[in-house]
Structure 1
Amino acid sequence: MFQTMEQCTDFIFKLKASQSKGEPLQSAKIILDALGNPEQKTKFIHFAGSNGKGSTLNATREIFMEHGLTVGAFISPHLERANERVTINKQQISDEDFLRIANELAEVIENKLDGKFPSFFEFVTLLALKYFSEQQLDIALLETGIGGRLDSTNVVTPEVSVITTISLEHTDMLGETYAEIAAEKAGIIKLGKPVVVGVKNAEALAVIRQTAAQLHAPIYTLGEHFHVENQKGTYFDYRGNVMIEEIELAMAGEHQMANAALAITAAKLYLASFNAQKVRLALQHAKWEGRFERVRPNIILDGAHNSEGTTALINTLKETAPQHKVKFVYAALQDKDHGVSINLMDDVASEMHFTQISLPRAATAKQLYEQSAHPNKFMHSDWQELIEKEMNHLAEDELLVITGSLYFIAEVRSYFAERGWIS
């Protein structure tokens, strides 16, 4: 069906969930069954959460790799090409393997589902599961797309589940309260399998505890069963049933220390042989593109796509650059509650700039602009023109912080890379 990668990705990027695909996960299970159930041939750790799941997955991967494991990872979104979503020891799936498995999936979909393709995310999830089953992996790490219970990644039974944080996000799909959203995320918890939790909201945490109890799943909660202590700059101590002192992180911010602590706990639950020094070495180079990424001394990219992420971004700015004035450039999708995030930025910004990206679900610059009460707010339809203009007029005591949707951050990174401004 697909002759080239360009033809393949052009097609799958346009996929929407079919209106007649049946019960949630039904089409995924039909396809997996036809493929010989590849999801049963790999061991997994499953990550869900409103924020931090990508950074936590990445830190876990670095710890496993430092221990000599071969580690698959499925992440989203990608920043430049779809292959980034499926990796082994950080090496992207080849175009040949991507195309081969995509064609195998397309044939099954034609024969078993009358050509009714699942969504893009479901398709690439299935591709990743098939690819991982063909490789000699020690473990594969899966990041959910949205939610957990009905997410296409939730066809696996993981060795460990990880739930990072809960925010009021995707309320049209996941529910309008912390409890409802937590119930969806807690859907990744499996019978008798441990779950590592970084959630602080009491309402959400109560739901996760209840789900774990019902499934007899041992629960390990940040602040109760393991702790982040003695934070100094990018250093912290981890205390659980093992103590690791003076861990240095490649990424700034207290939220990254929490993510690292979740990763350490998940890794320790899986590893038969756990080495504290290897953990230290791993976390020194656990970077995650598009998360408080300093592309120039006074330009930062951060995919803070909800209020919790924005709070973490602002706290990190206060920790790392307390004397600087901050100019925000913000673009986002419509399916988020932007009001809280914008108000948080309004409180600390010297200027607010709102722009937009060319996606069907994108909010317009005007829609975002109207939610800001900042005295120095501006809207721009062309984000490239805006960023170049602002880059050329930054004073020494100013920071340009480009934030919002990870899809926006991906476009900006690609734009910077084309001009040699970022490697």
Structure 2
Amino acid sequence: MSQVERVYAQLLARAPENKMEPRMAPMFRAMEVLGEPNKACPVIHITGTNGKTSTARMIESLLRAHDLRTGRYSSPHLVSVTERISLDGEPVDDETFVRIWDEIAPYLDIVDAELRERGENALTYFEAVTILAFAIFADAPVDVLVLEVGLGGITDATNVANGQVSVITPISLDHTDLLGDTPALIAEEKVGILKPEGYLISAVQPMDAAEVLMDKVRELQVPVAFESLDYKVLDRTMAVGGQLLEIQGQAARYDEIFLPLYGAHQAQNAAVALAAVEAFLGGGQRELNVDLVRDGFAQVTSPGRLEIARTAPTILLDAGHNPDGVRVSAEAVRESFGFSKLVLMLGILREKDAEAILYTLREEYGDLVEDLCLTQSSSPRAIPAGELASLAVDAGWPEEDLHVTENLEDAVEWCVGRAESEGDLAGGVLVTGSITLVGEISLLLKREGGQ
């Protein structure tokens, strides 16, 4: 067992990621005993339902283009836990990850003991990883931290930070059992990251959610910029390997921006990211250097988000874990890839709305997809492939079009075979659903390719 694996095992021994607790006191106590690493640098804090990670990576890249040393905290990870904690655009190195954990572990033991004495649960997996991230960023140190919420906002472990800029990407229904079953209720949770003397940057939102955000802005008397009102994508055209954008920011218009990602949703994320960096660097009033903006966007990557993992046939990896995510990805696939047919590989985690995802996939891809492979990742939260097949039939997928397997190598082989059937050179494979499935398929393909 490597040292990183040792630390990861210790983290996994805690309450799992889907058992995040709606509490803040333990996090503030941990920050206190560690000397408040949450206050070590300015923070851009990001929440929302879809697009958080891509937007965070864009903000990070723009800041790095301006010669700032960045930290980025995001979740979940695709392959390695170290991906969650990035320094200067790269996952934290193994030595630093292990060293800082070993330094802070005794202090976490103190907090755990205090919690147990009060009859409360010890720090969870997500709380512990978040504490580790703050400690790593303080140790580096970094000039600015791009901080992605894990779930919700107001009681998320990351909310011990005071965001100088708070970003809310599009809000839709997800985690409704924890956050509420309307956009307005979810918005109340997410706008909890907005702080006095902060600055709110929001994507276009459902009307009831937007009203909640505006109520909070008025209460705190902070500046706000809404997509379409204060900034927006003016134009976008398809380009080899991505798209070319023209964005109206808060302070200026920026043209000839190449974004090496696909889809209107990524263009929207780019506009949000640009507005956030304008707010951070110049209070939304100062024009950014357009060459630096172009350089920053040109360097953006977003693994597992319509990522081309292999060609001949093309295999796309896309972590579409809710209906709205499926819809925007489907639009991007149709717009950016000329597939004659598409084979879907799907795995879904237990806490997600599998029925709605399956229905949306059939609705969005029905004329393009004839074959659906149902499988599962190694996560204990994964819906068994056989159970997922029953749900697929209930959602209207013809049983004869389904292939069910728990073996991921078999799943890849079957999907590639179907995509290439009858000598079709324009067929493709889309791996979607849980990020755990996307991560495991990504690793499998890299191993098969000798990378």
Do the structures match in fold with TM over 0.5? yes
Shift of 1:15: 1.4
Question: Structure 2 vs 1, CA of residues 112 and 305 (structure 1 numbering), >3 Å: closer, same or farther?
Answer: closer
Counterpart for residue 434 of structure 2: 405
1:260 aligns to 2:270 (yes or no): yes
Shift of 1:374: 1.9
Counterpart for residue 353 of structure 2: 337
Counterpart for residue 11 of structure 2: 12
Question: Structure 2 vs 1, CA of residues 378 and 149 (structure 1 numbering), >3 Å: closer, same or farther?
Answer: same
Shift of 1:352: 1.9
Secondary structure, aligned partner of 2:329? helix
Counterpart for residue 135 of structure 2: 130
| Letter aligned with residue 420 of structure 1 | G
Q: 1 CA distance for matches of 2:94 and 2:223? A: 40
**Contact preservation (8 Å) 2:112, 2:123:** no
Counterpart for residue 271 of structure 1: 281
**Contact preservation (8 Å) 1:356, 1:365:** yes
1:374 aligns to 2:397 (yes or no): yes
How does the TM-score come out when normalised to structure 1?
Answer: 0.94
Shift of 1:117: 3.7
- Which of 222, 244, 250 matches 2:227? 222
| Letter aligned with residue 65 of structure 2 | E
Greater shift, 49-58 or 271-280, is seen at 271-280
Q: 2 CA distance for matches of 1:201 and 1:352? A: 32
**Contact preservation (8 Å) 1:346, 1:352:** no
1:43 aligns to 2:56 (yes or no): no
Question: Structure 2 vs 1, CA of residues 235 and 22 (structure 1 numbering), >3 Å: closer, same or farther?
Answer: closer
- Which of 363, 371, 374 matches 1:351? 371
Greater shift, 85-94 or 136-145, is seen at 85-94
The unaligned stretches of length 5 or more in structure 2 are none
Q: 1 CA distance for matches of 2:278 and 2:21? A: 39
| Letter aligned with residue 436 of structure 2 | Y
**Contact preservation (8 Å) 1:325, 1:350:** yes
Q: 2 CA distance for matches of 1:96 and 1:24? A: 31
Question: Structure 2 vs 1, CA of residues 289 and 17 (structure 1 numbering), >3 Å: closer, same or farther?
Answer: closer
1:221-243 C-alpha deviation (Å, 9 max, x unpaired): 11111011122111221113310
Shift of 1:3: 9.6
| Letter aligned with residue 315 of structure 2 | I
**Contact preservation (8 Å) 1:17, 1:118:** no
1:204 aligns to 2:209 (yes or no): yes
1:100-159 C-alpha deviation (Å, 9 max, x unpaired): 322233211222431764111111111111111122322111111111111100100011
Q: 1 CA distance for matches of 2:237 and 2:208? A: 30
| Letter aligned with residue 357 of structure 1 | S
* Cα RMSD after superposing both structures: 2.2
**Contact preservation (8 Å) 1:79, 1:407:** yes
Question: Structure 2 vs 1, CA of residues 322 and 392 (structure 1 numbering), >3 Å: closer, same or farther?
Answer: closer
Shift of 1:36: 0.9
1:287 aligns to 2:297 (yes or no): no
Shift of 1:9: 1.1
| Letter aligned with residue 442 of structure 2 | R
1:305-326 C-alpha deviation (Å, 9 max, x unpaired): 1111101110011101245211
Q: 1 CA distance for matches of 2:2 and 2:244? A: 50
Q: Kindly, what percent of the aligned residue pairs are identical?
A: 28
| Letter aligned with residue 359 of structure 2 | N
**Contact preservation (8 Å) 2:345, 2:415:** no
**Contact preservation (8 Å) 1:328, 1:345:** no
Secondary structure, aligned partner of 2:309? strand
Q: 2 CA distance for matches of 1:22 and 1:236? A: 40
1:236 aligns to 2:245 (yes or no): yes
1:79 aligns to 2:81 (yes or no): no
How many correspondences in the alignment?
420
Secondary structure, aligned partner of 1:308? helix
Question: Structure 2 vs 1, CA of residues 35 and 331 (structure 1 numbering), >3 Å: closer, same or farther?
Answer: same
Counterpart for residue 309 of structure 1: 325
Q: 2 CA distance for matches of 1:355 and 1:112? A: 40
Counterpart for residue 188 of structure 2: 183
Question: Structure 2 vs 1, CA of residues 30 and 378 (structure 1 numbering), >3 Å: closer, same or farther?
Answer: same
1:47-97 C-alpha deviation (Å, 9 max, x unpaired): 111111110011111111111111111111122221111121123323232
Question: Structure 2 vs 1, CA of residues 104 and 25 (structure 1 numbering), >3 Å: closer, same or farther?
Answer: farther
The unaligned stretches of length 5 or more in structure 1 are none
Counterpart for residue 109 of structure 1: 108
Secondary structure, aligned partner of 1:107? helix
| Letter aligned with residue 96 of structure 1 | E
Q: 1 CA distance for matches of 2:78 and 2:87? A: 17
1:226-283 C-alpha deviation (Å, 9 max, x unpaired): 0111221112211133101122110010000000001110111112472111111211
Question: Structure 2 vs 1, CA of residues 3 and 31 (structure 1 numbering), >3 Å: closer, same or farther?
Answer: farther
Q: 1 CA distance for matches of 2:273 and 2:347? A: 30
Question: Structure 2 vs 1, CA of residues 280 and 3 (structure 1 numbering), >3 Å: closer, same or farther?
Answer: closer
Counterpart for residue 25 of structure 2: 26
| Letter aligned with residue 120 of structure 1 | Y
Shift of 1:329: 0.7
Counterpart for residue 414 of structure 2: 389
